[in-house]
Amino acid sequence: MNHMQYQAPDNLLDGRVIAVTGAGDGIGAEAARTFAAHGATVILIGRTVPKLEEVYDQIEKAGGAQPGIYPISLDGAVEKDYRDMHDRLEEVFGQLDGLLHNAGKLGQRTPIANYTLASWQKVMQVNVTAEFLMTKALLPLLEKSDSASIIFTSSGVGKVGKPYWGAYAVSKFAIEGLSQVLAHELEGTSNIRVNCINPGATRTRMRATAFPAEDPATVTTPAAIMPTYLYLMGSASEGITGQSLDAQ
């Protein structure tokens, strides 16, 4: 079965609690709505509350389970904030079966020779360190699930470096590495599978910022790449770990 053509049953994620970062916009918002439409209770994690509230309303209007909203700024959060996140999610939801690390920062598009330390550090913080800290903090909750899925978000420039992509490309190489390390650590000792998705060119704010001259109408929509997200989040991917899948 090709994961890009995966057709998920409507009840795929019934009874599952799934956290999505960057859930207020772009791919993350689409993934949150899609997981909810397949039965999940979704925790919307992000920094811009009105955007999260909009996704919350869309999910409720569509008849999905009541979501949770967890505001956090990934560039400012420290280790204790993630421990607090664990405690709060455990208290409110009592379980966690999926974690989609989707939030990401593009940063500067400029040669390394001109790349500023400030932009470098911010991109690495949001795209790698925050994922490390959140995963570490939430692992005990995920370990209680009979079948949990962690998905990291990679990129084409996380596999082949390209000029001017700077820290963004390096951060995506790093996330592939983190995903593989964690996958192998958890393999055989837990029910958690760990994989990466490379969304491919997708019609979002980030894509429009990176390619301002491109006509967005020519770019794949977030909805069109959801089969791979559902495949990795649902039971069809049980036993699959340490992989990096292209969503298109």
Distances (CA, A) of 113 to 85, 119, 126, 160: 38, 13, 22, 19
Place of tokens 């029910």: 191
Name which of 135 and 153 has its Cβ closer to ligand NAP.
153
Cα–chain center distance at 138: 14
Name which of 13 and 55 has its Cβ closer to ligand NAP.
55
Residue 98 binds to ligand NAP (criterion: CB under 6 A): no
Residue 248 binds to ligand NAP (criterion: CB under 6 A): no
Task: For Cα atoms 219, 224, 230, give the angle at the middle one, nearest 5 degrees.
Answer: 140
Does residue 70 have an active-site annotation? Answer: no
Q: Which residue stretches of the chain are H helix?
A: 26-37, 49-61, 79-92, 117-124, 130-143, 166-186, 205-210, 226-233
- Catalytic site residue from 70, 82, 168, 229: 168
Q: Is 158 helix (H, G, I), strand (E, B) or coil?
A: helix
| Binding string, residues 214-233; x marks residues near ligand NAP by CB under 6 A | --------------------
Using Cβ positions, the residue closest to ligand NAP within the complex turns out to be 26
Which segment (12-20, 92-100, 101-109, 235-243) binds ligand NAP by CB under 6 A? 101-109
- Out of 16, 38, 47, 86, name the contact with ligand NAP by CB under 6 A: 47
State the minimum distance, in angstroms, from the CB of residue 248 to ligand NAP: 10
- Number of residues near ligand NAP (by CB under 6 A): 27
Tokens encoding 90: 């455990």
Residue 28 binds to ligand NAP (criterion: CB under 6 A): yes
Contact predicate 32/20, CB 8 Å: yes
Q: Is 73 helix (H, G, I), strand (E, B) or coil?
A: coil
Catalytic residues: 168
Q: Which positions lie near ligand NAP, rule CB under 6 A? A: 22, 24-28, 46-48, 51, 73-75, 102-105, 126, 153, 155, 199, 201-202, 204-207
